[in-house]
Chain A
Amino acid sequence: MKLRRGFWLLALLAIVGTARASVLPEDRADVLYHLYTGGGVDIDGPSVLVRKKVGNSVSLVGNYYVDMVSSASIDVITTASPYTEERKQWSLGMDYLRGNTTMRVGFTSSEESDYDASTYNFSVSQDMFGDLTTLTLSYALGDDLVRKADDPTFEKDLDKQIYGVGLTQILTKNLIATVNFETATDEGYLNNPYRSVRYVNASDPLGRGYSFEGELYPNTRTSNAVGVRARYFLPYRAAIEGEYRYFIDTWDLEGHTASLTYVHPWRDFTFTGKFRYHDQTGAHFYSDLFPRAQATNFRGRDKELSPLTSYTFKLKASYAFLNEDQSWGFLKKGSITASVDMLSIDYHDFSDLTANAVIGEEPLYLLDANVFQLFFSFWY
């Protein structure tokens, strides 16, 4: 505890050093509609974000976000019944600028019928070397409550902490890069209370050769992630960006994520294409089929913890219908953006039980999903 206090004091002393001119984020509002569809799941809803400066040194931001879920996913149809659900999330934040230092505080609340999450976050950024370098330190504290729809007595806590450090660096007249490191610790109930694992049971009354029992996860998880990103301005006014992230955690899950983005403006349009690749190993307590009931201390069959490879191809087009030289009243700029992300996930150890194949010979599950977004943005 003493070490932690000393660490933060030193961090603040190191960051709140020199003072030079820096800027607050632009005043803007975004109204977004999102739709995720695939694998028997449809999730859609709005997200509204408004940011406004107050005076010269404070900027306030608010966001309201809704997920309306209709789920008949592979997990749901093999062990439970399809359901509908709604999640509402709102957040408030404030940026305070003093010289070249920006401090941010924020609070996010998320509510659904069986899961409540509250997150408090704080960060401090310092611009250095004639604004070529920005160093950011961040901390977030999450306080979640997990419940179960069919059991009103079920209530479990989950505490989360995230420590982050980031460095953004202008490298040349055409190149900017950023490095982010994050450590996250979770402590509490990490299971999904509805999910089950599968085990071999020769005397299964349904004649499938297997049965299901509840998952049992460890109560702690610590993960480390480091991400590197660089964006380069091409000679003919277009941009290219490369990104890589390495992830590892105490559940033995190790992941590599890489992406390549190309941005091409044309008149009042901006077109973006992106390819993203993710590959991960499975958690040490994950198994598609356990040899018997209660075979191990911890057990899970959550397909997100299975070894998997995912591919995402993105297309995005944005049209600026309002520029600064033709502003409408207090509105300076406006744009409309549409995008689609085509997601495909190959699970390397998660069987598709809907195929009704002989035990041990089921085909592996493959998820294809599309994510659509349509949003208006205004600057004022």
Chain B
Amino acid sequence: MEKNCLTIARILLPLLVFGGLLGCSNIEPWVKPYERDKLADPIMALDSDPVSTSYLQHVFESREGARGGEGAAGGGCGCN
């Protein structure tokens, strides 16, 4: 468990510190707010139907050995 935490910390800490420092700096956004009309189109939503997405994630986690990397799925077993 301790070893696992160390591994996570080694990966995440530099990212967090880097992100935190950059968050305080004045980086000019290279896509201006008025240029984001296409990104705001509903067809560009990364998760347009959350109720359906979490249901399908549960189906795949019940039928395959892999999990995670896509957001949270439902609890319970549903194994057989």
B79 to chain A, nearest CB (A): 5
Contact residues, B21-69 vs A (CB, 8 A): 22-24, 27-33, 35-36, 38-39, 41-44, 46, 49-52, 54-56, 59-60, 62-69
Shortest Cβ gap from A234 to chain B (Å): 9
Contact B67 A375 (CB under 8 A): no
Report if A7-B36 is in contact (Cβ < 8 Å); known contacts: A128-B23, A337-B52, A375-B52. Answer: no
Which chain B positions have C-beta within 8 A of A278? 60, 64, 66
| A255 CA / B2 CA spacing, docked (Å) | 25
Distance in Å from the Cβ of B27 to the closest Cβ of chain A? 5
Size of the chain A interface, CB-CB below 8 angstroms = 111
A283 near B: Cβ within 8 Å? yes
Contact between chains at A170 and B68 (CB < 8 Å): no
The chain B residue sitting closest to A371, CB to CB, is B59
Chain A residues with CB under 8 Å of B68's CB are 162, 164, 182, 184, 223, 225, 227, 247
Can you list, as one digit per residue, whether each of A222-234 has a CB less than 8 Å from chain B (1) or not (0)? 1101110101010
Asked if A349 CB lies within 8 Å of chain B CBs, one says no
Interface residues on B, range: 35 or more
Asked if B4 and A185 sit within 8 Å, CB to CB, the answer is: yes
Q: Enumerate chain B residues within 8 angstroms of A108, measured Cβ to Cβ.
A: 74-75
Interface stretch of the complex, out of A110-118, A196-204, A288-296: A110-118
Please pick, from B41, B50, B69, B79, the residue contacting A182 in the complex, using a CB distance under 8 A.
B69
Q: Is the CB of A135 within 8 A of B49?
A: no
- Assess whether B8 is in contact with A17, with CB atoms less than 8 Å apart: no
Q: How far is the CA of A41 from the CA of B66 in the complex (A)?
A: 21
Q: Are A4 and B5 in contact (CB under 8 A)?
A: yes
Task: Decide: A43 near B78, CB < 8 A? Known: A10-B16, A165-B15, A226-B69.
Answer: yes
Cβ–Cβ < 8 Å partners of B28 in chain A: 130
**A117 vs B76: C-alpha distance when bound (angstroms):** 6
Q: A32-B51, A67-B76, A137-B16 are in contact. List 18 more A-B contacts (CB 8 A).
A: A14-B17, A30-B50, A43-B78, A65-B74, A108-B74, A109-B75, A130-B28, A144-B75, A170-B36, A170-B39, A173-B35, A181-B11, A182-B68, A192-B79, A223-B67, A225-B66, A247-B68, A270-B43
- Going nearest first, the 6 A-B pairs with the smallest beta carbon separation are A130-B29, A14-B20, A225-B69, A227-B69, A117-B75, A182-B68
B interface residues, Cβ below 8 angstroms from A: 1-2, 4-9, 11-13, 15-17, 19-20, 22-24, 27-33, 35-36, 38-39, 41-44, 46, 49-52, 54-56, 59-60, 62-72, 74-80
28 contacts between A and B (CB under 8 A): A3-B6, A10-B13, A17-B23, A36-B59, A41-B80, A47-B55, A63-B51, A67-B78, A69-B80, A71-B80, A89-B75, A117-B75, A132-B29, A162-B72, A170-B31, A176-B39, A181-B11, A181-B69, A183-B8, A225-B70, A233-B44, A239-B41, A247-B69, A253-B65, A253-B66, A265-B43, A280-B66, A371-B59
